[in-house]
Amino acid sequence: MKTAWKYRAAALAALMIALLLVPASFAQDRMSDHDIENVMKNLKEDSKRFQSAFNSSIGHSTIRKTSQEKDAKGTVQTFRNQTEHMLDVFQDKHKADDTLPLVMATAKQVDGILGTVQLNGATMSTWAKCKSELHILGVQFNLPGY
């Protein structure tokens, strides 16, 4: 009888120690709306820089003066427009449920283009910033992809 009580007391003590060591919140801490808005502003500005670098760089690529160049520039323009629209909607409604998935889908199209056409390092570096910001937003809104 005393042995059973000792096991229960030890189990209870172990449980209490485990609960003290575990953080108070099991859910991932979400960034504040202000911080999310700032990430979206950064993405908007970086998408502008990326579009400028992309357009300059693609003009020197193997697909210059082709319909592929025109399509690629159009996709990048769409990406930039979507980032601006996403920020506008978030500032108004504090939601990105409808806009972020579209931005991420277009970003994957841009990734496909960048995988087939070799562009300069500045363009790729700017795109890496955009992808990093998309990753942050994806984590915040539980959207896999980046």
Which tokens sit at 3? 């042995």
Kindly tell me if the per-residue pLDDT of 133 is higher than 80.
yes
Q: How far is the C-alpha of 106 from the C-alpha of 109, rounded, in Å?
A: 5
Cα–Cα–Cα angle for 70, 73, 77, nearest 5°?
135
Q: What is the pLDDT of residues 34-93, one digit of tens each?
A: 999 999 999 999 999 999 999 999 999 999 999 999 999 999 999 999 999 999 999 999
As a whole number, the mean pLDDT across the chain is 87
Half-sphere exposure of 34 (CA within 13 A, CB side): 0
Kindly tell me if the per-residue pLDDT of 140 is higher than 50.
yes
Which tokens sit at 140? 């915040």
User: What percentage of the chain has pLDDT greater than the value 70?
Assistant: 79
**In degrees to the nearest 10, what's the CA dihedral of 92, 104, 110, 91?**
10
Kindly tell me if the per-residue pLDDT of 27 is higher than 80.
no
